Structure 1
């Protein structure tokens, strides 16, 4: 538990073990807002042109690898509640969290601060609570018992985001001219939730909450709340993703990039820290099953040579 950065908020300086090499530091974190990231409004989806909606999603996924969804049907109250219960969890005393701390990636529900804390040269300024969600009846019993309403709130939230994620995946299938449920079954049976907590950092120029990366899974739904912490790399420049009220940031993962034979992109992004306030974000990941075979869809690779070979998802993760 002493490894958790959230338990070390008294720090006046960034420890050496959290200080990135000069070439990897974010430096000035007040980067410009990206004003061109597509914002897709789902209000009245059934009453407007579905073809136009699909076109918006495909274009955004090609150009940016992500987009924001507003008026998506997940209630404003539930969005606020899940952010709040995530904050409450990290504010619990250590004795209420210690049973969940684990450095074993095979543990279902675990609290940790780094994937491989003891072997990495530099740590990142965030703690994570992560656990599987779908199906709820198989996993909820292993979730935190405190705060008392954690299981109810996160259960309701994950079920709503699960339905929304599959619906968006169906729209992506239509946009790629695949069968409407092509990305279902073995390609999307796993949902996991990560609640990331970024405590105040004495010097945000020296460290990162998460380094540059793109998502390995199929698709990601992020609630960044009011946090100005997410940045994307666009044309060689880091740009901030403006936090919109109750919006989801939707990231295309590597698996969709591969299945689309490179037609859709997975965005490089990172998370910066803040000097004054703590930030909590909630992320839902949709994954293939471990033994699922991944390859470019035949209908897409028939038109042009496949860019990727067939592989098992679990091997890609390794």
Structure 2
């Protein structure tokens, strides 16, 4: 196999050529400024109107935000990260039982982002699993580590409730009924990408464009071409979570670009492996994604044409991340 697992248990003495980006495409980390004003939304606030206003401002100006006092127990997050680390330290023969590059598989281990479509790979392995409904998918998950299914199931339930709650708040922040987004997206599935970034030889040579909730510099680029970094580290009230929990690009289409979507990347570490867990609420395959009349007036003012989530999913996995934002394919001409 041309692309092998990076978490195979050995260290590379030199960086494989398939992971070295051309000089113009390499992340210039010396140009990345620290960012100390990243929006943080306190879901423990008693004033719902204030929370909604904060989310509206963050989505309009930044395209992302972190949430604290989110109700996901710290113990649940800690166990999730620990069992993920345990999984990626299993013998490679055990992990390879789950390896596949077929995006239609509901439980699969892979590497980079979409190896069959890429020229240059990203420095990560990932376990991608479907999570909802649990009684349908959990039986497909790894049985090793033995605690995997129980721990991940608990995490999935809590993070799903948070995601649905955030969708209500985002819906309200657009001036819509709180149930509008949830009803529009139908019976939503849930996917999770458990990411493993091994120690790397040169952080300037490769970057994985994935959300993260580990204490590392997470970099964003929104309204300007410049990248900015902020530490998504533990706070006094537990782990903050980054709501890349949902396809915010779909929220971008629903808002008719009133809200932004930003590129984000996690920079690998030269000394230590890193773990991140990205959870996604996914519309039903037949759900039609389009801006509501309340935000556009008439169809001629819609930035994006209506499309089903099935169309979006197929387009996403037919390309690689270097080809640009998949959502651009659905713009009205």
After TM superposition, the score normalised by the length of structure 2 is 0.86
Q: Is the 8 A contact 1:29 1:272 kept in 2?
A: no
Greater fraction helix: 2
Deviations 1:49-107 (A, max 9, x none): 21111000111011111111111111111111101111110000112212111111111
What's the offset of the Cα at 1:4?
A: 0.7
Partner of 1:216: none
Does structure 2 retain, via aligned residues, the 8 Å contact 1:124–1:209? yes
Alignment of 1:48-67 (within 5 A): 48-67=46-65
Structure 1 partner of 2:93: 95
Name 2:215's counterpart in structure 1: 226
Alignment correspondent of 2:322: none
1:119 Cα deviation (Å)? 4.6
The match for 1:198 is 197
In the TM superposition, 1:8-23 aligns within 5 A as 9-23=10-24
Q: CA deviation at 1:32?
A: 2.5
Measured after TM superposition, the shift of residue 117 of structure 1 is 2.1
8 Å CA contact retained: 2:212, 2:266? no
**For residues 267 and 118 of structure 1, do their structure 2 counterparts lie closer, same or farther at Cα, with a shift above 3 Å needed?**
closer
Residue 33 of structure 1 corresponds to 34
Contact 1:29–1:205 (8 Å) recurs in 2: no
Aligned residues: 304
Which consecutive residues of structure 2, in runs of 5 or more, have no partner in the other structure? 316-333
1:234-271: CA deviation from partner (whole Å, max 9, x where unpaired): 42211113113111011361111111111111111122
Shift of 1:31: 2.9
Q: Which portions of structure 1, spanning 4 or more consecutive aligned residues, are displaced by more than 4 angstroms?
A: none
What secondary structure does 1:132 align onto? strand
Correspondence list, 1:101-116, <5 A: 101-116=99-114
Q: CA deviation at 1:115?
A: 4.4
Shift of 1:116: 3.7
C-alpha distance in 1, partners of 2:49/2:116? 50
Q: Do the aligned partners of 1:134 and 1:190 also contact (CA within 8 Å) in 2?
A: yes
Return the alpha-carbon distance in structure 2 between the equivalents of residues 196 and 9 of structure 1: 18
TM-score under structure 1 length normalisation? 0.90
CA distance in 2, matches of 1:64, 1:201: 30
Secondary structure (helix, strand or coil) at the match of 1:133 reads strand
Matched, 1:272 2:297: no
CA distance in 1, matches of 2:183, 2:301: 26
Instruction: Mark the runs of 5 or more structure 1 residues left unpaired by the alignment.
Output: 212-221
The answer (yes or no) to whether the contact 1:40–1:68 under 8 Å persists in 2 is yes
Change (3 A) 1:186 1:52: closer
**Displacement after TM superposition at 1:223 (Å):** 5.0
2:301 corresponds to which of 299, 305, 313: 305
Give SS of 2:78's match: helix
Alignment partner for residue 131 of structure 1, among 126, 129, 132? 129
SS in 2 for 1:144: coil
3-state SS, counterpart of residue 284 of structure 2:
coil
Instruction: Name the residue aligned to 2:242.
Output: 249
What RMSD over aligned residues (CA atoms) do the two structures have, in Å?
A: 1.9
Q: Aligned to 1:112, what secondary structure does the other structure show?
A: strand
